């Protein structure tokens, strides 16, 4: 098996090591403890977590098609695609999220002024900045930052609430009151939000008059925190529960809106143990 190692220069910062291994790559995950993007290698039913593609990162988010955004410790943001690195922002990057396979949003800070968000598009001619909108205050820290592909609207969590910013007019409003929102996913007007304080998962649905929320999963163990949610096909969603440091349980749950028998599926159905925590991408 051949291994090709490429070093990419982040402007004047240190080198980040990129390793591409031969074999069928099913996807990528961000290994938080090692601060590296790692590949999922093999075939369905016989896959394993491979070596690091990129190391020495503060955070990274793959788009599922071999392209990912990576943030360096000094606050710069890099787009990596097909072995080519493109600088997106040199400083002030706080968090970022994909809005689809070829678009993404970035939250940035600036000295003595309110934070702002940018929407970027990845096209045949490279990167283009589509829109820039100021936030309500400076030094805003979000528990999550997500984008709805169909609308390009942004969602974030702060203590006590989940907010939505519409792409069309840049207006942000609270759409749900949740004590401690820590995880979120949204698709086509349906969203799920994990609440660490109440150890619950809420289902949010966009209606003509605004968003409606209801509890989708509750009664979790005292130590179970829904650290990640991911909407799946056929009206299901995946929840990752952190029950203790270094251990995560996965559960596949039937969505309330599409349930056929009117009964909530047991939240522990189909759970599996992971050796270490990884991010959903």
Condensed to tens digits (0 to 9), the pLDDT of residues 179-207 reads 999 999 999 999 999 999 988 999 999 99
Q: Are the CB atoms for 215 and 198 separated by under 8 Å?
A: no
Q: What per-residue confidence (pLDDT) applies to 186?
A: 95
**By CB neighbour count within 10 A (0-12 exposed, 13-18 middle, 19+ buried), where does 149 fall?**
middle
**Integer Cα distance of 152 and 115 in angstroms:** 19
Are 49 and 67 within 8 A, CB to CB?
Answer: no
Answer for the pair 234, 225: CB distance below 8 angstroms, yes or no: no
Residues lower than pLDDT 70 in the chain: 1-23, 25, 27-28, 54, 82-83, 233-235, 243-248, 254-281
Q: What is the pLDDT of residue 99?
A: 96
DSSP for 140-207, written as a single string: ---S-EEE-TTT--EEEEETTEEEEE-TTT--EEEEE--SSEEEEEEETTEEEEEETTTTEEEEEEEE
What residues contact 172, with CB distance under 8 A and at least 6 apart?
A: 135, 136, 154, 163, 164, 165, 166
Cα distance between residue 95 and residue 106, in whole Å = 6
User: Rounded distance, CA 108 to CA 89, Å?
Assistant: 9
At 138 the pLDDT is 82
Closest by CA position to 189, among listed 213, 172, 156, 170: 213
In 3D, which of 19, 20, 120 has the Cα closest to residue 79?
Answer: 120
pTM of the model: 0.75
Question: What whole-number distance in Å separates Cα of residue 187 and Cα of residue 273?
Answer: 26
Taking Cα atoms as reference points, which of 204, 267, 198, 281 lies closest to residue 239? Answer: 267
């Amino acid at each position: 098996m051949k291994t090709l190692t490429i070093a990419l220069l982040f402007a004047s910062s240190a080198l980040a090591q990129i390793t591409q291994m031969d074999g069928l790559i099913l996807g990528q995950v961000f290994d938080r403890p090692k601060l590296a993007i790692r590949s999922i290698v093999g075939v369905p039913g016989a896959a394993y977590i491979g070596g690091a593609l990129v190391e020495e990162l503060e955070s990274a988010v793959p788009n599922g098609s071999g392209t990912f955004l990576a943030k360096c410790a000094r606050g710069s943001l890099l787009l990596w695609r097909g072995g080519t690195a493109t600088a997106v922002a040199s400083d002030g990057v706080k968090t970022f999220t994909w809005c689809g396979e070829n678009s993404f949003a970035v939250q940035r800070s600036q000295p003595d002024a309110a934070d702002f968000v940018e929407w970027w598009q990845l096209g045949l001619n490279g990167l283009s900045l589509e829109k820039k909108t100021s936030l309500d205050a400076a030094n805003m820290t979000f528990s999550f930052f997500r984008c709805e592909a169909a609308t390009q609207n942004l969602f974030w969590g702060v203590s006590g609430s989940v907010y939505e910013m519409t792409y069309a007019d840049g207006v942000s409003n609270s759409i749900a009151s949740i004590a401690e929102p820590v995880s979120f996913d949204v698709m086509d007007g349906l969203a799920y939000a994990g609440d660490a304080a109440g150890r619950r998962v809420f289902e949010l649905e966009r209606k003509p008059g605004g968003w409606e929320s209801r509890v989708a999963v509750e009664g979790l163990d005292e130590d179970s925190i829904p650290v990640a949610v991911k909407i799946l096909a056929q009206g299901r969603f995946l929840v990752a529960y952190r029950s203790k440091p270094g251990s995560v349980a996965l559960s596949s749950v039937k969505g309330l809106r599409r349930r056929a028998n009117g009964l909530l599926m047991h939240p522990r159905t189909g759970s599996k143990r992971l050796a270490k925590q990884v991010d959903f991408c």
